[in-house]
Amino acid sequence: MPVSEPADSPVPLAKEYIRRGQRRIAIETLEPWLDDYPEDADAWSVLAAAYYELDDFVPAREAAQRACDLKPDSARNWCNLGMILRKQGELYEAERIQHKALTIDSSYERARSELRKIHDVRTGSRKPHEPLGP
């Protein structure tokens, strides 16, 4: 069962660092927190985003998987994991994960968009590591 975040959670601050392009600071803010609060799915999700933005996909994938494990009913977390898998070129697994996100929330447009990107990679109109774009 997930543990509630204490009021002093660094997640909002880490999100702001990411928005400012200060991804390393976001990581440095979250990692000690996660040592003390390893059940904080939102912190794992934000950590995954920070690593993703740095194109550091191995720790991004690990953090995203942890977020999914802790909060398996989150279409957003599954979609994020699928995005990372696509970037790593693991298209079949990325597709499976996006379908899982849509099973949780059939109206989640971001997962549908990711499925289109996976299709584009398979048909050769996009490479797995290309920027996401519109």
Residue with tokens 């002093």: 8
Number of structural domains (the chain) is 2
- What confidence tier does 3 reach under pLDDT thresholds 50, 70, 90? very low
Q: Could you tell me if residue 1 is inside a domain?
A: no
Q: Could you tell me if residue 3 is inside a domain?
A: no
Q: Which domain holds residue 53?
A: 10-63
Q: Could you tell me if residue 130 is inside a domain?
A: yes
Q: Could you tell me if residue 2 is inside a domain?
A: no
Q: Are residues 131 and 92 in the same domain?
A: yes
Last residue of one domain, picked from the residues 29, 45, 63:
63
pLDDT score recorded for residue 126: 67
Q: Are residues 93 and 38 in the same domain?
A: no
DSSP state of 126: S
**Range in 31-35, 63-67, 121-125 the model is least confident about:** 121-125
Q: Could you tell me if residue 44 is inside a domain?
A: yes
Give the pLDDT confidence of 40-91 residue by residue, as tens digits.
Answer: 999 999 999 999 999 999 999 999 999 999 999 999 999 999 999 999 999 9
Q: Are residues 56 and 90 in the same domain?
A: no
Quote the CA–CA distance of 59 and 47 in Å, as a whole number: 9
Q: Are residues 83 and 47 in the same domain?
A: no
What amino acid is encoded at 106 in this protein?
A: S
> Residue 26 is part of a domain; what is its CATH number?
1.25.40.10
